[in-house]
Amino acid sequence: MRILLVEDHLPLAESVAQVLRGAGLTVDVLHDGVAAEHALASEDYALAILDVGLPRRDGFEVLAHTRARGKVLPVLMLTARGEVKDRVHGLNLGADDYLAKPFELSELEARVKALLRRSVLGGEQQQRCGELVYDLGTRRFSLSGQPLNLTSREQGVLEALIARPGRVMSKEQLADQLFGLDQDASPDAIEIYIHRLRKKLEGSGVRIVTFRGLGYLLEAADG
């Protein structure tokens, strides 16, 4: 899953990004509010982490404009302002959670996972497609009760597909979930990952169906 981190304190931004990438997430890092607004308007993120005290446009403004455009992704606000009125203001603007600085990186990671679990899986810990099970807490797949060994790119593709049951995803949409702003997104590479995943799903009753010219759909063979 791909998330956006907007924090102007560079060492903190790098530490947070490192922890979240270590948890298997694709993280885009930006350092000002204007760039954040542009990214949120043009990219597809599962979650955004916004610092309140951003240059050029503060986090409250970015949040307000994002919600005004109808974006419903979960937003976690970071701030050095610990006053109740600031937290209430952010929540009233549409923030989903609030974390005051200084904070433990482990707590931030836990909050991010909780927000993703609620938004992606509707509060459920697991997503299923036939014999394929995805546990958001551990971010691991199992197939017919056995761990499914995947590369990070294969994992990203399968996460995107299982999180959108009944929905066809194009190569471009899948590439957007795998590659950050600082990476060259390669839709053609998705074909390679799809081929590898099909091999690993063989005989399980779970399949990735190709809709020519449209994209891919994950389904159970009996569904």
Q: What is the pLDDT of residues 22-37, one digit of tens each?
A: 888 889 999 999 999 9
* pLDDT confidence band for 123 (50 / 70 / 90): low
Residues 65 and 140 in one domain: no
pLDDT, tens only, 63-100: 999 999 988 899 999 988 667 787 788 888 999 999 98
Q: How far apart are CA 130 and CA 127, in angstroms?
A: 10
Structure-block tokens of residue 204: 């399980």
Q: Which domain holds residue 137?
A: 126-220
Q: What's the whole-number mean pLDDT along residues 104-127?
A: 82
What does the pLDDT average to over 169-173? 89
Kindly report the backbone phi and psi dihedral angles of residue 169, in degrees, each rounded to the nearest multiple of 5, phi listed first.
-115, 130
The per-residue pLDDT of the chain, averaged, comes to: 88
Do 148 and 112 fall within a single domain? Answer: no
**Are residues 40 and 74 part of one domain?**
yes
Q: Within this chain, do residues 102 and 150 fall inside the same structural domain, yes or no?
A: no
- Please compute Rg for the chain using Cα positions: 18
Domain identity same for 42 and 103: yes
Select from 85, 120, 155 the last residue of a domain. Answer: 120
- Using the 3D structure, point to which of 77, 105, 120 is the last residue of a domain: 120
Do residues 91 and 75 lie in contact, with contact meaning Cβ atoms separated by under 8 Å?
no
Query: Of 99, 88, 83, 43, whose CA–CA distance to 66 is shortest?
Result: 43
Q: Is there a single domain that holds both residue 110 and residue 20?
A: yes
| Domain end residue (candidates: 58, 88, 120) | 120
Tell me: do 14 and 101 sit in the same domain. Answer: yes
| Predicted pLDDT of residue 206 | 94
Contacts by 129-133, CB closer than 8 A, 24 or more apart: 129/162, 129/165, 129/206, 129/218, 129/219, 129/220, 130/204, 130/205, 130/206, 130/219, 130/220, 130/221, 130/222, 130/223, 131/204, 131/205, 131/206, 131/220, 132/162, 132/201, 132/204, 132/206, 132/218, 132/220
Q: Are residues 60 and 148 in the same domain?
A: no
Question: In this structure, are residues 27 and 46 in contact, taking their beta carbons and an 8 Å threshold?
Answer: no
137 and 168 belong to one structural domain: yes
- Structure token digits, residue 156: 């990203």
CATH of the domain at 138: 1.10.10.10
Total domains present in the chain: 2
pTM above 0.85, yes or no: no
What residue type is 46 in one-letter code?
A
Residues 66 and 143 in one domain: no
- DSSP annotation of 46 reads S
- Supply angle C-alpha 212, 217, 218, rounded to 5: 145
Looking at the structure, tell me whether residues 80 and 155 fall in a common domain: no
Same domain, 8 and 113: yes
CATH number of the domain at 69, please: 3.40.50.2300
